[in-house]
Amino acid sequence: MKSRAQNALEFLMTYGWGLLIILIVVVVLFYIGVLNPGGSATGNSCFFIPGFSCYQFKVGSGTGALIFDHGQATGKSIRVTGISCSANQTFATQNVSILTNSIVIPPGEHRWTVGGNSGNSVNCTDESGSNLAADEALPGGRFKGIMCIAYTELAAAETDRMVCGDITARLEPISDAELGVSPTPGPSPSPTASPSPSPSPSPSPSPSPSPSPSPTPSWPACAPGGVIQSCPCTLDYADIYTIKDGGITSTGDCITIAADSVTLNCNLKTIIGPGVSSNTAVYMNGRTGVTVSNCIIQGYDQGIRLDSSNVNTISDNTFNSVGTGIWLSSSSNNGVTGNIIPAVIWAGIKSFNGNTNTINGNTANNAPFGDKGIFIIGETGDTVSNNIACSGSGGTDIFCDTPQTGTGNTCSVTSCTGVTCTNPCAPV
């Protein structure tokens, strides 16, 4: 009995190591892609840290061209500004290609950042950092390397960040449609004389078109990738938008929000208008669920105007040289918070013929012009709290024609029953 047990143990010791080695080899072959058909039909694989994903991607044969649909679930909206793809890890981390169009991706969603409808192009490089040579990019070959994504979080102040991941891809042809480019038309055939008419041959069946990337947002032409490039610009697709580096200027009205649930976060960039005699920087009519924040608005008669728009948020914007900073007309249940509106001509904040609006924590001055800091007409249920509203000599800091509620305001003159001035304005 003892001899049999000993023989069994010797058998396991002898052959067990061999089985373990075979298992390790199989795992390695799967990792490098030799035995791995999964992940996609082409055997592609992509690994980033949690919060980032490759929704779909390809590396093209012949050129190493990359197409990349990028998903993110970080809990915050991000703006992708650059992509690199290289077999050399150091080169990938130090040579990120700046994208022609930065791409905004809301949390829990995905967008084409290279190829598709992004307007961006990036090529994967070899170990030397050069574009793949013809013999390195043969169809059916494999590319293994590092992909790095440069991005910022959409917040009041954007901070540059980067995340890198491992990719393995089977090199395969990529169509013009997938790359997001229009094919170049071939030359038209020269007409030739025909001695006699002959029966027309039956038309050959058209080749099936190459599969195009999955549909992505229909950003307006003035805001590719969710980044507003110029005025006038109508935002008619619900998404997160910002404005280009350096800001934008206009000779008339600038941004019209024509869809619900739009977020416009200017990231402290400037919208400059033609002057205070006319025009509006940001306008919406009949909208709900819109957020406008972190904009610096200068040189308009009206900075931000809402007509018949409910349950929106206007926050943390700064206004310079405007007639009226924020104007709500027949609009209800909106939040106007944290805005800075110094030295306007007519009023810092106007709210007419709506109800239950919250005006909180704003600096809404009219000094030295002597009109009104906060001006409310025909409304019920508004809350006016913790504002600095100083109109200057002869003006009314907070004016209401019906009772409202609110405390903690810095003001000296108020006609609002129920709204108190906790601190007086400094002398002008």
Q: What is the mean pLDDT of residues 299-314?
A: 95
Q: Cα separation of 310 and 356, whole Å?
A: 10
Which of 179, 211, 236 corresponds to the end of one domain? 179
Two structure tokens written together for 331: 């609009």
Dihedrals phi, psi of 210, to nearest 5 degrees: -65, 145
From the list 222, 252, 250, 257, the residue with the least C-alpha distance to 236 is: 257
Computed over every residue of the chain, the mean pLDDT equals 82
pLDDT tens across 148-181, in order? Answer: 999 888 754 556 789 999 999 999 998 888 887 6
2 pLDDT above the threshold of 90: no
282, 416: one domain: yes
pLDDT tens across 230-259, in order? Answer: 999 999 998 889 999 999 999 999 999 999
As for how many domains the chain has, the answer is 2
288, 372: one domain: yes
CATH number of the domain to which 68 belongs: 2.60.40
Residue 14 forms part of a structural domain: no
296 pLDDT above the threshold of 90: yes
Predicted local confidence at residue 327, as pLDDT: 95
148, 236: one domain: no
Residue 160 forms part of a structural domain: yes
Predicted local confidence at residue 204, as pLDDT: 39
Predicted local confidence at residue 81, as pLDDT: 87
377, 255: one domain: yes
Angle, alpha carbons 373-378-380 (nearest 5°):
95
Residue 215 forms part of a structural domain: no
pLDDT tens across 259-291, in order? Answer: 998 999 998 999 999 988 789 999 999 999 999
Which of 113, 146, 179 corresponds to the end of one domain? 179
Q: pTM to 2 decimals?
A: 0.59
Q: Cα separation of 286 and 309, whole Å?
A: 5
SS (H, E, C) the chain: CHHHHHHHHHHHHHHHHHHHHHHHHHHHHHHHCCCCCCCCCCCCEEECCCCEEEEEEEEECCCCEEEEEEEECCCCCEEEEEEEEECCHHHHHHCCEEEEEEEEECCCEEEEEECCCCCCCEECECCCCCECCHHHCCCCCEEEEEEEEEEEECCCCCCEEEEEEEEEEECECCCHHHHCCCCCCCCCCCCCCCCCCCCCCCCCCCCCCCCCCCCCCCCCCCCHHHEECCCCEEECCCCEEEECCCCEECCCCCEEECCCCCEEEEEEEEEECCCCCCCEEEEEECCECCEEEEEEEEEEEEEEEEECCECCEEECCEEEEEEEEEEEECCCCCEEECCEECCCCCEEEEEECCECCEEECCEECCCCCCCEEEEEECCECCEEECCECCCCCCCEEEEECCCCEEEEEECCCECCCCEEEEECCCCC
Are the C-beta atoms of 114 and 66 separated by less than 8 Å? yes
175, 237: one domain: no
156, 240: one domain: no
38 pLDDT band (50/70/90 cuts)? very low
CA distances from 218 to 111, 226, 238 (A): 11, 10, 9
CA distances from 66 to 51, 167, 248, 270, 286 (A): 21, 11, 32, 34, 42
Are the C-beta atoms of 376 and 384 separated by less than 8 Å? yes
The 10 Å Cβ neighbour count of residue 23 is 10
269, 418: one domain: yes
CATH number of the domain to which 250 belongs: 2.160.20.10
Residue 194 forms part of a structural domain: no
CA distances from 114 to 2, 181, 217, 225, 324 (A): 68, 12, 14, 11, 42
314, 168: one domain: no
Residue 216 forms part of a structural domain: no
39 pLDDT band (50/70/90 cuts)? very low
Least confident range of 50-64, 180-194, 408-422:
180-194
Are the C-beta atoms of 236 and 259 separated by less than 8 Å? yes
Which of 159, 179, 199 corresponds to the end of one domain? 179
pLDDT tens across 46-96, in order? Answer: 899 989 998 889 999 888 999 999 899 988 888 888 999 999 999 988 888
129, 245: one domain: no
15 pLDDT band (50/70/90 cuts)? low
Two structure tokens written together for 67: 């197409």
166, 235: one domain: no
Predicted local confidence at residue 67, as pLDDT: 93
147, 263: one domain: no
Q: Which residue has the tokens 């929106």?
A: 312
Handedness of CA 132, 138, 139, 143 (dihedral sign): negative
If you average pLDDT over each of 17-26, 150-159, 412-421, which comes out highest? 412-421
pLDDT tens across 342-399, in order? Answer: 867 778 899 999 999 999 999 987 655 556 889 999 999 999 999 998 876 567 889 9
Exposure string (b/e) for 399-424, b if CB count within 10 Å is 16 or more? bbeeebebeebbbbbbebeebebeee
pLDDT over 90, % of the chain: 45
Are the C-beta atoms of 250 and 231 separated by less than 8 Å? yes
Domain residues for the domain of 153 are: 45-179
Predicted local confidence at residue 227, as pLDDT: 92
Who contacts 365 (Cβ-Cβ below 8 Å, separation ≥6)? 341, 342, 343, 344, 348, 373, 388, 389, 390, 391, 392
378, 292: one domain: yes
Amino acid found at 426: A
Q: What is the mean pLDDT of residues 32-41?
A: 42
From the list 239, 240, 266, the residue with the least C-alpha distance to 254 is: 266
Residue 250 forms part of a structural domain: yes
109 pLDDT above the threshold of 80: yes
Residue 295 forms part of a structural domain: yes
Residue 200 forms part of a structural domain: no
The 10 Å Cβ neighbour count of residue 106 is 18
From the list 392, 266, 261, 246, the residue with the least C-alpha distance to 318 is: 266
Predicted local confidence at residue 62, as pLDDT: 87
126 pLDDT above the threshold of 50: yes
Q: What is the mean pLDDT of residues 100-116?
A: 87
201 pLDDT above the threshold of 80: no
